[in-house]
């Protein structure tokens, strides 16, 4: 699910052409909460997870068009070459040099058996790999990372290469912040799904300490949270409310003046649903229904 620079350029052109005012999300929220006058139509660009390609591909387009944006960071991944488990699992499922009969893959082969019928030919096609990743979401994130670590320990050649950094580093964050266009919100410390954490202190670290990490970077932070995968519990939401001014969900739609700031809706745009102006209008228009 990616947005090409051309598609992003088209989004900006079309949305501003419709009269929408590009705004910093936190400034719009601040005005909305005190009932100040707002433009009839505003647009806030947000990016989740802190992918390095936000700097490489999106930032030049945003800067050229003077578009403010918010990136929700996974604080413990910054300055590392680690990435998220779905990408790592996808890599394994689509590789052709995996000794699947080895015990360390049992958690993956049983997920394959559960969703692919008749038994799959390996390596998997993308659609089948996607179903397996969906099935693995029944496990908690730490278990999956532990299983992956055992795989790499037994088969070092399968480990993700160290030269392929996927996540933003401090220098890139500072560079984008210096433009005055970027602000950084919180997307937990490890991108664990917050409805699957058994331990309350872990929930607190993921939600509260994440912003401490981001503030310690000394760059343009904003006190807005973004729920990984859109998942949250009552206790988690209370913690978010105690520390942040607002939170983004994965729900689709518009936000109106005076809306619940902890239940912000968005449009998840990618080339598949918004490359052409017609598709973009259809995707956004559906949010009005
Ligand atoms: Zn995310």
Per-residue pLDDT reduced to its tens digit, 48-77: 999 999 999 999 999 999 999 999 999 999
Ligand 1 centre to CA of 228 (Å) is: 5
Peptide bond into 123 cis (omega under 30): yes
**Is the pLDDT higher at 162 or at 52?**
52
Ligand 1 centre to CA of 55 (Å) is: 17
- How does the average pLDDT of the chain come out, rounded? 94
Q: Are 45 and 28 in contact (CB under 8 A)?
A: no
First to last CA, the chain: 24
Ligand 1 centre to CA of 59 (Å) is: 19
Q: What is the mean pLDDT of residues 131-159?
A: 95
Ligand 1 centre to CA of 268 (Å) is: 12
Q: What is the mean pLDDT of residues 169-193?
A: 97
Ligand 1 centre to CA of 53 (Å) is: 15
Q: Tell me the pLDDT band of 157, cut-offs 50, 70 and 90.
A: very high
- CA 93, 99, 101, 104 dihedral sign is negative
d(Cα 237, Cα 234) in Å, to the nearest integer? 5
Q: Tell me the pLDDT band of 116, cut-offs 50, 70 and 90.
A: confident
| High-pLDDT (> 90) share of the chain, % | 87
Ligand 1 centre to CA of 131 (Å) is: 18
In this prediction the pTM is 0.92
Query: So what's the pLDDT on residue 40?
Result: 92
Ligand 1 centre to CA of 280 (Å) is: 22
Ligand 1 centre to CA of 110 (Å) is: 26
Query: So what's the pLDDT on residue 271?
Result: 95
Q: What is the mean pLDDT of residues 125-153?
A: 94
Ligand 1 centre to CA of 83 (Å) is: 11
d(Cα 287, Cα 265) in Å, to the nearest integer? 10
Ligand 1 centre to CA of 74 (Å) is: 8
pLDDT above 80 (res 289): no
Ligand 1 centre to CA of 233 (Å) is: 16
Ligand 1 centre to CA of 49 (Å) is: 5
Query: So what's the pLDDT on residue 288?
Result: 75
Output the furthest CA–CA distance in the chain (Å, rounded): 64
Q: What is the mean pLDDT of residues 24-43?
A: 94
- Could you report the per-residue pLDDT of 231-251, keeping only the tens digit for each? 999 999 999 999 999 999 999
Q: Are 29 and 81 in contact (CB under 8 A)?
A: no
Query: So what's the pLDDT on residue 50?
Result: 97
Query: So what's the pLDDT on residue 135?
Result: 96
Query: So what's the pLDDT on residue 245?
Result: 97
């Amino acid at each position: 699910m990616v947005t090409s620079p051309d598609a992003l350029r088209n989004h900006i052109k079309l949305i501003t052409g419709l009269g929408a005012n590009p705004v910093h999300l936190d400034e719009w929220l601040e005005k909305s909460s005190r009932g100040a006058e707002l433009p009839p139509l505003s647009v806030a660009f947000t990016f989740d997870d802190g992918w390095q390609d936000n700097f490489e591909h999106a930032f030049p387009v945003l800067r050229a068009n003077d578009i403010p944006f918010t990136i929700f960071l996974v604080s413990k991944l910054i300055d590392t070459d680690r990435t998220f488990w779905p990408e790592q699992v996808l890599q394994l499922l689509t590789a052709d040099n995996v000794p699947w009969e080895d015990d360390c893959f049992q958690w993956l082969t049983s997920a394959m058996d559960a969703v692919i019928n008749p038994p799959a030919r390996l390596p998997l096609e993308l659609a089948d790999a996607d179903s397996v990743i969906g099935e693995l979401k029944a496990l908690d994130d730490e278990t999956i990372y532990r299983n992956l670590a055992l795989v790499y320990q037994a088969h070092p050649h399968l480990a993700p290469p160290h030269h392929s950094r996927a996540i933003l580093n401090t220098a890139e964050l500072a560079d984008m912040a210096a433009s005055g266009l970027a602000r950084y919100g919180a997307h937990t410390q490890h991108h664990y799904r917050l409805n699957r954490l058994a331990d309350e202190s872990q929930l607190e670290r993921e939600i509260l300490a994440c912003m401490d990490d981001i503030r310690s970077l000394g760059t343009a932070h904003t006190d807005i949270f973004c729920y990984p995968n859109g998942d949250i519990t009552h206790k988690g939401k209370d913690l978010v409310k105690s520390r942040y001014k607002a939170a983004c969900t994965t729900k689709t739609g518009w936000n109106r003046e005076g809306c619940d700031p902890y239940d912000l809706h968005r449009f998840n745009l990618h080339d598949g649903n918004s490359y052409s102006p017609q598709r973009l209008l259809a995707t956004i228009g559906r949010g009005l229904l």
